[in-house]
Structure formats: C-alpha cells, structure tokens
Amino acid sequence: MSKRLSMLMSVLLVIALVLSACGGSKNNGSSGNGGNTAGTDGGSSGGNADGSGQKVQIRLSTWAGADEAKELQAILDDLNAKSDVYEIVQDSNPAEYDTRIITQLSGDSGPDLFWVSAQRAAQFAAGGVMLDITDRLANSSHPAANTDDYYEASFGPFTHDGRIYGLPWLQQPVMLYVNKALFDEAGLSYPDESWTWDDFIAAAKKLTKDANGKRADEEGFDPNNTVQWGFTLNGWPPVQMFIWQNGGEVITEDGKSPIDSPEAMEALNFYADLVQGPLVPSQTIIRDRGFDQMFRNGQVAMFMGGAADDLDRTVENVQAFMVPAGPDGTHVTFADILGMGINAKTKNPDAAFQAFLDLTDAIHHWKIMPPRKSLADYETLKELHPDKAHSLEAIIASMQYGRPYRYSEKYPDWDNIFWTQLMDPIVNAGARPSDLVPKVKPLLEDALK
C-alpha cells in the first residue's frame, strides 16, 4: 500500500510544482487567456483623445546591428519626445530575424511595427499578416503618406491585389564602385551615363594586370599570374540585372520564365564569360581574400554594390557611378527594397499608423536612398550624407532605373531553383548557360504554378 500511496504522492507533487510555478509568475505577465496585452498598454487606440491618457506603447522589431540600433534609438527618442500619442519601443537584433519575426507574428504577441524585406513583404501582404493601409494613406496628409511621391518600383513588394500593406523606407540601387586611382594609373576616364557593356569590358581589360605589369588586352598577358583584376563577381551582382539591361526577363507577369530568349541567353553568356574569364578573380581567390575586401585593398578595380555601401566613404579614391547600360543603352539596375509594415493584429492601429508614418519619414531622412522623389535632391541629400557627396549624383540618377525582383508568395521556391540549378553551376563549376537553361526553365515555371 505504501508504494501505491507514494506513487500517487509523487505524481501530485510534480503537478503541484508545475502548477505553482505557472501560477506564481502569472501576475507579472497579464490576463491569462490569450488577451495578452503588454502590461503598460494604457489607452486603447486613440485613447489620448481626452488629452489626459497615457501614451500608447508601440513595439518595433528591426534587424538593426549595434551601431544602427543606436542611431535608430536616437531617432525614436526624438519622435517619442514630440508625440503625445505613442511611445515607440525598439526591439532590435540582427540574428535570425525571419525566424524571430515569423514566430512572434504567428501568435498575438507580435510587434506593432516591424521592418521587412521586399521578399517577406510580398509574402506577408498576400498572407494578411500586415495591416491594409490603403485607405489610411489616402486619408492622411502626412508627407510620407503621399503615394505619388514614391518611386513606383519601390511599391511593388508592398502591394497585393491593388491594396497597400506597407511602405518602403529604402530603395537601394546597385552602383558601380570605382577605384579612381587604378583608373588614373591605367589612363582611363571614369564611367559616365553613356557607358555600355562594351565600354565596361574594355575598361576591365585595361584594369586587369599580371605580375609583369602586362594588361589583359596586351600581348603576353599571363592570366595565371594576375595581381589586379578589373571586376569581381560571385553570384552578386545578380544576373537578373544584366538580363533586364539586355531587354530580357526572368519572370513575366503571367508567371513564365523566358530565360531561353535570345536576350536572356546573351546576358547569361556575358555573365558566364566574365565570371569564368581572366577579368574576374577565381571563386577560390574570392573566398580566400574576401569579396569586397579585394576591392577595398586595391586588388580589384570595379565593384558593384548597393548605394548605401560604405565603400565610397571608407576607402580612398572610391566613387560610385551608374552601372553600365545594356548594349543598346538600356539603363536598369537592381534595387534592394526595404520597408516597414504594421502588424494586422495590433491592438492600437491608429497610434501604430501615426508612429509608422512618422518613423518612415524619419528613416527617409536617415538612410541612403529614400524611395521618394521629393527627397532625391542633391542639395538635401548632401547635407544629410556629406561623406557620400561625391557619389550622390550618380545614385540619384540611378533611382529611376531601379528595379526589384518580381516577388510573390512562390518566389522563394523559384529563387532557390534559379540559384542552385543555374547560377551556382555557372559561378562555381564553370558550367555553360546553354547546357543548363533548357533543363532549368521548366523547373522554374513549375515553381511558380
């Protein structure tokens, strides 16, 4: 009998332990059943109307790193001081942002505002995760709410079925960063708006040098003994940009992937020739010495990077220019787009929207490049970013040619096939596009169905 009793006792004890542990801590959380409001949620939406209400706490999730988080906090402090409606609380961490945000949003306890990449924005907009702000924007006179002021391309990822689910705060076109000292040494003039692929290749040849000082367009150049390369590629910049410049497409509006069109094939071959040829370091060298690092220490003369990269701020003699146009002069550059959304489940949509607009506007005055035409002004930007002044004109000129990928819910699957089956073999295994494209095209189109 004692055995049975003691068994019962131990079961009870365990249960008691568990229950007491749960119960004991409940009071520092909040109401039990699902209605989890974060402690200090004083007023409800617009609860400040009577003027006496507490400010509404608005939680903001971002991927900001150490320095970025500090700069952001300064902006938030400023906004919070000015507002009597909201108090934005920052929750930043660059680690596993997607896992984190998706987990938190899957419940009711997600942040009110969150930074979002273009790809995620397209998914979230389609999935109803982000608040539909179309009407709110239309009824607002806030400068950041004027949808006509934004570059059209930047809106794509935030629009679904004609409704708007977020605002971009950054549109970052790919620029051609140039080491001017190496250009001078080779007797080349700097790139300008008229540059096409041919000018680019001609310059890259002059900027590729072997240990004996012979350049790639000279007799006796030894490609096995290169010490300076004209350009560098490792899958970045994306081949899509070159296909667009040549008049091709990778995803059409009706879900086709015409990568076997003559325009796309020509661009793919152009890319493959570059990455497999003598003007670009081998992938082994790039991995060993660092992709952008080789440009930073003068082993590579031209580098394509986002407009906000620090290359022109931190490396001497470096300036950003427009990326070369396609053979017939078509200008397109890939644009990375980042933005912010409001949690569809936010408890305080009104306060959140106000904070959202103020913060979006503040970020437009913080980062390069704001996706708004009214801010794409040399004098304004020079004041905000004096250390990038010498690159600004080219960056502003690139904005109208910026173009993001055609994101959709199924895009990640498409993207996965595109990189693993097509680009990875071309970049890392020396494969030729003509061998791969016929096999990969149906896979890509399947992924979009």
Q: Is 3 in the site for other proteins (CB under 8 A)?
A: yes
Alpha helices for 256-375 (secondary structure H): 262-276, 283-289, 291-296, 311-314, 349-364
Site string for other proteins, 292-311 (x = CB under 8 A): -xx--x-x------x-xxx-
Among the listed residues 29, 430, 438, 442, the single contact to other proteins using CB under 8 A: 29
**Least distance (Å) between residue 199 CB and other proteins:** 28
Q: Is 194 in the site for other proteins (CB under 8 A)?
A: no
Q: Is 34 in the site for other proteins (CB under 8 A)?
A: yes
Q: Is 393 in the site for other proteins (CB under 8 A)?
A: no
Among the listed residues 1, 21, 81, 429, the single contact to other proteins using CB under 8 A: 21
Judged by beta carbon, residue 69 or residue 137, the one nearer other proteins is 69
Binding to other proteins (CB under 8 A) within 100-139 occurs at: 100, 103-104, 106-109, 111
Site string for other proteins, 328-347 (x = CB under 8 A): --------x-x---------
What's the CA gap between 125 and 146, in Å, rounded? 20
**Least distance (Å) between residue 449 CB and other proteins:** 27
* Opening angle at CA 320, ends 300 and 117, nearest 5: 100
Q: Which amino acid is at 187?
A: G
Closest by CA position to 232, among listed 310, 294, 323, 314: 294
Q: Which amino acid is at 208?
A: T
What's the CA gap between 226 and 224, in Å, rounded? 6
| DSSP of 360-397 | HHHHHTTSS--SBGGG--HHHHHHH-GGGHHHHHHHHH
Contact stretch for other proteins (CB under 8 A) within 25-33, 47-55, 380-388, 424-432: 25-33
Q: Is 9 in the site for other proteins (CB under 8 A)?
A: yes
Contact stretch for other proteins (CB under 8 A) within 95-103, 128-136, 144-152, 355-363: 95-103
Q: Residue 421 burial (CB < 10 Å; 0-12/13-18/19+)?
A: middle
| Residues 6 or more apart whose Cβ sits within 8 Å of residue 258 | 248, 249, 250, 252, 264
Cβ neighbours around 222 below 10 Å, total: 12
Judged by beta carbon, residue 9 or residue 138, the one nearer other proteins is 9
Among the listed residues 57, 92, 179, 283, the single contact to other proteins using CB under 8 A: 92
Judged by beta carbon, residue 28 or residue 139, the one nearer other proteins is 28
Q: Is 94 in the site for other proteins (CB under 8 A)?
A: yes
Binding to other proteins (CB under 8 A) within 353-382 occurs at: none
Closest by CA position to 37, among listed 404, 345, 289: 345
Tokens at residue 366, please? Answer: 């913080």
What's the CA gap between 232 and 370, in Å, rounded? 27
Among the listed residues 172, 208, 232, 360, the single contact to other proteins using CB under 8 A: 172
Task: Assign 204 to helix, strand or coil.
Answer: helix
Judged by beta carbon, residue 17 or residue 138, the one nearer other proteins is 17
Contact stretch for other proteins (CB under 8 A) within 258-266, 286-294, 374-382, 425-433: 286-294
271, 365 contact by CB (below 8 A): no
Contact stretch for other proteins (CB under 8 A) within 84-92, 212-220, 376-384, 388-396: 84-92
What's the CA gap between 324 and 330, in Å, rounded? 9
| DSSP of 100-115 | HHHHHHHSS---SEEE
Judged by beta carbon, residue 26 or residue 365, the one nearer other proteins is 26
Site string for other proteins, 39-68 (x = CB under 8 A): --------------------x-x-xxxxxx
Judged by beta carbon, residue 237 or residue 433, the one nearer other proteins is 237
Task: Assign 57 to helix, strand or coil.
Answer: strand
319, 178 contact by CB (below 8 A): yes
Residues that bind other proteins (CB under 8 A): 2-3, 5-7, 9-10, 13-14, 17-18, 21-22, 25-26, 28-36, 38, 59, 61, 63-69, 89-96, 99-100, 103-104, 106-109, 111, 172, 288-290, 293-294, 297, 299, 306, 308-310, 336, 338
